[in-house]
């Protein structure tokens, strides 16, 4: 998802009243449907979707969707029924099992759960084919992408312009699925039928189009899509495209579906994507979906990292740093969200934090260290630390909680945690560790890459193995506790005494750099305490002069509270 820049923060209501609703008067979401990653229990925990064939017919005038899904379901354990998540505002009007129509009393769709009885049961390891037909008016997004749903918009000349953005709420906003980050689909066929003159840009590879007279059907095929990454992006699109020769020897199609009259901006951004691919592949590993495409579609909302077809709504703005921040952010999500997938929303910082950190990292690559430092300082002012970044087991975070602001911290505190890790373990550990975290191998190659689910503890284990350090103290203080470490300094004559204070029971042993005159010294903080001889009682010093450590800052807190620091 997109980070909240100053403009986006205003739109989301963090720094100002909430923006006008995209769907004024829309009925509220069912409580269950409104939240992804509810605990996996019962059949939802024992089902694996080997294949989904999804067909959607969109009626922009009525804001209506007719859907049909064919699923090959494999049982991980013996099953007496199947369960899918689905917004109860939809009417389910037909279900077939192995081609046979089920009677109405063999299934039910209530309270956000579609339950299908299996007359003969399904043994562990076996598969069955189920077909579901549904229709209705899907939930309309209130403030996409942060409060998601479907967007029924229009271009300046009045043509339909449609998009979905459902990360926080989940795939069940418009199709039956298992709405949990740990669940995916091995293979997807996606058919989108739209009024003639419109184009449906989709996940994966375009297999073909069919002229139906008044409508056109677009058939897409994708491997291993994430649930929330399955998307509908429709408009009177034109296509800008080119090919990219990867350092790994494969050729990657680059495609940008843009509105008429935007070809110049789209082609400029395709040029930027070439530089971003080169950078990301050099730092982390091969583009994960090179066998399909790098895809972008212009959308009426700001953006979203839909797998191989990222939403872009930044208006082709020219920026002083020389590249489009939104394009870069969403593209980096192909590595960190679509390839490396958080196991649940509780580990969402892995996707958003690492992705946000790639933005200053890319600026350092293209413009120099000064730009990296400036971007990190800007990010620091958006770290709130009011709640743990990784919520306790059994608790689900609220992305849009304006008090807790966890939805900000997963971006900006997450990026600063990676920045601080970099100073602790060094580039020689951090970059290979991120590669292993992302691909589950130290030497990823095109053709053998498949998405992987990861947890915060997976990252810690990899870092500990590769660095030889015990990092429990670091992860406990930064990820599982809300408040930031405080560095307390006391001067006794020429002696500078330093102490870390955290709410963790473990000593926080982060070394501290101290600048004394022209010299920078490193103070070992064994047990959370350290001492440095300054040489004289009146000698000036500066703590952490390169701003490498995420820590409590009274000036930042005062600014966040709208006051000046004392």
Res 49: pLDDT: 98
Beta bridge partners of 221: 189, 205
pLDDT one-digit tens code per residue, 172-205: 999 999 999 999 999 999 999 999 999 999 999 9
- Beta strand residue intervals within 263-320, DSSP E: 294-298, 303-304, 310-312
Res 563: pLDDT: 62
Position 465 pLDDT exceeds 50: yes
Res 16: pLDDT: 28
Q: Average pLDDT for residues 17-26, to the nearest whole number?
A: 43
Res 21: pLDDT: 40
306 labeled binding residue:
no
Among 476, 481, 297, 475, smallest CA distance to 385 is for 481
pLDDT one-digit tens code per residue, 394-436: 899 999 999 999 999 999 999 999 999 999 999 999 999 999 9
Res 9: pLDDT: 31
- Extract the tokens encoding 399: 């992305």
- Beta strand residue intervals within 423-544, DSSP E: 452-454, 486-492, 495-501, 512-516, 519-523, 529-533, 542-543
Q: Give 458-466 contacts, CB < 8 A, sequence gap 24+.
A: 459/350, 459/433, 462/433, 462/436, 462/437, 463/421, 463/425, 463/429, 463/430, 463/433, 466/425, 466/429, 466/432, 466/433, 466/436
Highest CATH level, class, for 340-479 = mainly alpha
Res 26: pLDDT: 59
Res 55: pLDDT: 98
**Is residue 147 very low, low, confident or very high in pLDDT (cuts 50, 70, 90)?**
very high
Res 8: pLDDT: 37
Res 24: pLDDT: 53
What are the residue ranges spanned by the domains of the chain? 6-236, 340-479, 486-549
Q: What is the distance of C-alpha 141 from the center of its chain? A: 18
Q: How far apart are CA 297 and CA 235, in angstroms?
A: 9
Among 176, 172, 174, 186, smallest CA distance to 49 is for 186
- Extract the tokens encoding 511: 């070394």
- Beta strand residue intervals within 250-336, DSSP E: 251-258, 294-298, 303-304, 310-312
Mean pLDDT of the residues in the chain: 94
Among 373, 354, 348, smallest CA distance to 363 is for 373
Res 27: pLDDT: 72
Among 256, 259, 23, smallest CA distance to 156 is for 259
pLDDT one-digit tens code per residue, 30-80: 889 999 999 999 999 999 999 999 999 999 999 999 999 999 999 999 999
Position 371 pLDDT exceeds 60: yes
pLDDT one-digit tens code per residue, 505-552: 999 999 999 999 999 999 999 999 999 999 998 899 999 999 999 999
Res 30: pLDDT: 87
Res 393: pLDDT: 86
**Is residue 5 very low, low, confident or very high in pLDDT (cuts 50, 70, 90)?**
very low
521 exposure class (CB count in 10 Å sphere: 0-12, 13-18, 19+): middle
pLDDT one-digit tens code per residue, 337-370: 999 999 999 999 999 999 999 999 999 999 999 9
Contacts of 490 (CB under 8 A, 6+ apart): 496, 497, 499
pLDDT one-digit tens code per residue, 477-500: 999 999 999 999 999 999 999 999
**Is residue 23 very low, low, confident or very high in pLDDT (cuts 50, 70, 90)?**
low
Q: 10 Å Cβ neighbour count for 172?
A: 28
Q: What is the distance of C-alpha 9 from the center of its chain? A: 17
Burial 48-81 (b: 16+ CB within 10 A, else e): ebebbbbbbbbbbeebebbbbbebbbbbeeebee
Q: How far apart are CA 185 and CA 53, in angstroms?
A: 10
Q: Average pLDDT for residues 116-143, to the nearest whole number?
A: 97
pLDDT one-digit tens code per residue, 229-264: 999 999 999 999 999 999 999 999 999 999 999 999
- Please indicate whether the domains covering 6-236 and 340-479 agree at the CATH topology level: no
Residue pointed to by tokens 């406990």: 476
Res 562: pLDDT: 86
Q: 10 Å Cβ neighbour count for 380?
A: 18
**For the domain bounded by 486-549, which CATH number is listed?**
2.60.40
329 labeled binding residue:
yes
Res 4: pLDDT: 44
For CA atoms 529, 530, 536, 542, the dihedral sign is: negative
Burial 311-347 (b: 16+ CB within 10 A, else e): bbbbeeeeeeeebbbbbbbbbbbbbbbbbbbbbbbbb
Over 66-129, what HEC string results? EEEEEEEEEECCCEEEEEEECCCCCEEEEEEECCEECCHHHEEEECCEEEEEEEEEECCCCEEE
Position 22 pLDDT exceeds 80: no
pLDDT one-digit tens code per residue, 270-305: 999 999 999 999 999 999 999 999 999 999 999 999
pTM score of the predicted model? 0.94
Position 327 pLDDT exceeds 60: yes
6-236 is a CATH 2.60.40.1730 domain: yes
Q: Determine the Cα angle at 499 with ends 497 and 502, to 5°.
A: 170
419 labeled binding residue:
no
Res 28: pLDDT: 83
Res 394: pLDDT: 86
């Amino acid at each position: 998802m997109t980070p909240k820049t100053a403009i986006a923060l205003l739109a989301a209501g963090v720094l100002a009243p909430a923006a006008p609703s995209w769907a004024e008067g829309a009925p509220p979401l069912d409580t269950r449907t409104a939240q992804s990653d509810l605990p996996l229990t019962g059949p939802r925990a024992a089902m694996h979707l080997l294949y989904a064939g999804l067909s959607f017919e969109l009626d922009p005038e009525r804001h209506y969707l007719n859907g049909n899904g064919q699923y090959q379901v494999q049982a991980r354990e013996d099953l007496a029924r199947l369960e899918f998540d689905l917004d109860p505002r939809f009417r389910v009007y037909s279900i077939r099992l192995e081609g046979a129509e089920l009677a109405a009393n063999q299934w039910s769709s209530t309270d956000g759960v579609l339950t299908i009885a299996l007359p003969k049961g399904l043994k562990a390891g076996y598969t069955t084919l189920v077909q579901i037909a549904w229709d209705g008016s899907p939930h309309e997004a209130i403030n996409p992408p942060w409060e998601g749903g479907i967007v029924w918009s229009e271009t300046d000349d009045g043509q339909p312009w449609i998009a979905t953005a459902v990360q926080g709420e989940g795939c069940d906003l418009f199709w039956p699925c298992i709405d949990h980050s740990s669940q995916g689909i091995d293979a997807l066929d996606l058919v989108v039928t739209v009024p003639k003159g419109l184009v449906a840009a989709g996940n994966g590879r375009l297999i073909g189009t069919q002229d139906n007279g008044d409508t056109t059907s677009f058939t897409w095929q994708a491997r291993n899509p994430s649930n929330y990454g399955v998307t509908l992006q429709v408009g009177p699109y034109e296509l800008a495209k080119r090919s990219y020769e990867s350092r790994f020897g494969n050729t990657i199609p680059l495609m940008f579906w843009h509105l008429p009259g935007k070809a110049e901006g789209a082609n400029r951004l395709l040029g930027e994507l070439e530089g971003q691919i080169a950078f990301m592949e050099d730092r982390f590993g091969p583009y994960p979906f090179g066998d399909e495409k790098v895809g972008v579609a212009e959308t009426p909302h700001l953006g979203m990292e839909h797998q191989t077809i990222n939403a872009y709504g930044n208006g082709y703005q020219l920026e002083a740093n020389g590249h489009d921040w939104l394009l870069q952010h969403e593209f980096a999500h192909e590595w960190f969200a679509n390839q490396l997938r958080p196991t649940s929303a509780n580990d969402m910082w892995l996707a958003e934090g690492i992705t946000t950190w790639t933005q200053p990292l890319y600026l350092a690559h293209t413009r120099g260290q000064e730009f990296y430092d400036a971007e990190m300082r800007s990010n620091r002012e958006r770290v709130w630390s009011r709640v743990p970044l990784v919520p306790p087991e059994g608790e689900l975070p609220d992305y849009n909680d304006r008090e807790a602001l966890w939805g900000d911290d997963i971006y900006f505190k997450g990026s600063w945690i990676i920045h601080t890790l970099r100073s602790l373990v060094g580039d020689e550990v951090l970059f290979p560790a991120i590669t292993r975290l992302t691909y589950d191998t130290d030497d990823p190659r095109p053709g053998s890459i498949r998405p992987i689910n990861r947890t915060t503890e997976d990252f810690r284990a990899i870092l500990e193995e590769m660095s030889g350090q015990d990092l429990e103290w670091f992860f406990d203080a930064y990820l599982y506790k809300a408040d930031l470490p405080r560095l307390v300094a006391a001067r006794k004559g020429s002696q500078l005494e330093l102490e870390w204070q955290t709410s963790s029971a473990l000593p926080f042993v982060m070394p501290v750099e101290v600048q004394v005159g022209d010299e920078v010294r490193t103070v070992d903080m064994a047990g959370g305490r350290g001492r440095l001889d300054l040489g004289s009682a009146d000698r000036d010093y500066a703590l952490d002069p390169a701003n490498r450590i995420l820590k409590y800052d009274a000036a930042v807190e005062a600014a966040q509270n709208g006051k000046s620091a004392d």
